């Protein structure tokens, strides 16, 4: 009888610890140091992206037009200025020449890139992302799920 009680208690403890670890796990990461700077947008080409394979950064791809009520580049620039985080930007025509185009099909979009992998991105065709394109606070909340905003 004591063995069953001890086994049940150990099982409960193991489950509780596992749940705690899963719930409190923080998968966020810091961007590469050079992107915690002065909050600027830096234009980049598809060729330059190849040289960033070991970097962690935010990439904004855009069209020459914007169908949102408030141009989303204004939202992203406001965030960038407020939090002093530099964002790389690329025209969608250039973006099509990158490997990221296999994942992100539409522009405008903002991607969080870590070591040449898309960690997360905003989908211009998905209604759940619209607020992030139109509201600085919603955009910030989305980014905070993946990266630390301050060094």
Q: How far apart are CA 141 and CA 148, in angstroms?
A: 11
33-144: CATH architecture: 3-Layer(aba) Sandwich (3.40)
Distance CA 132, CA 37 (A): 23
pLDDT in tens, 30-68: 999 999 999 999 999 999 998 898 999 999 999 988 888
Domain limits of the chain? 33-144
pTM, to two decimals: 0.83
């Amino acid at each position: 009888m004591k063995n069953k009680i001890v086994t049940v208690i150990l099982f409960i403890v193991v489950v509780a610890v596992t749940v705690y670890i899963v719930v409190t796990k923080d998968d966020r990461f810091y961007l590469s140091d050079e992107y915690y700077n002065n909050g600027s947008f830096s234009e980049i080409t598809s060729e330059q992206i190849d040289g960033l394979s070991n970097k962690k950064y935010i990439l904004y791809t855009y069209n020459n037009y914007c169908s949102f009520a408030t141009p989303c580049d204004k939202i992203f620039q406001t965030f960038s200025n407020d939090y002093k985080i530099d964002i790389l930007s690329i025209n969608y025509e250039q973006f099509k020449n990158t490997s990221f185009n296999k994942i992100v099909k539409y522009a405008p979009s903002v991607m969080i890139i870590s070591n040449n992998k898309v960690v997360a991105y905003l989908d211009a065709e998905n209604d759940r992302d619209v607020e992030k394109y139109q509201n600085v606070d919603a955009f910030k909340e989305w980014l905070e799920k993946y990266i630390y905003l301050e060094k």
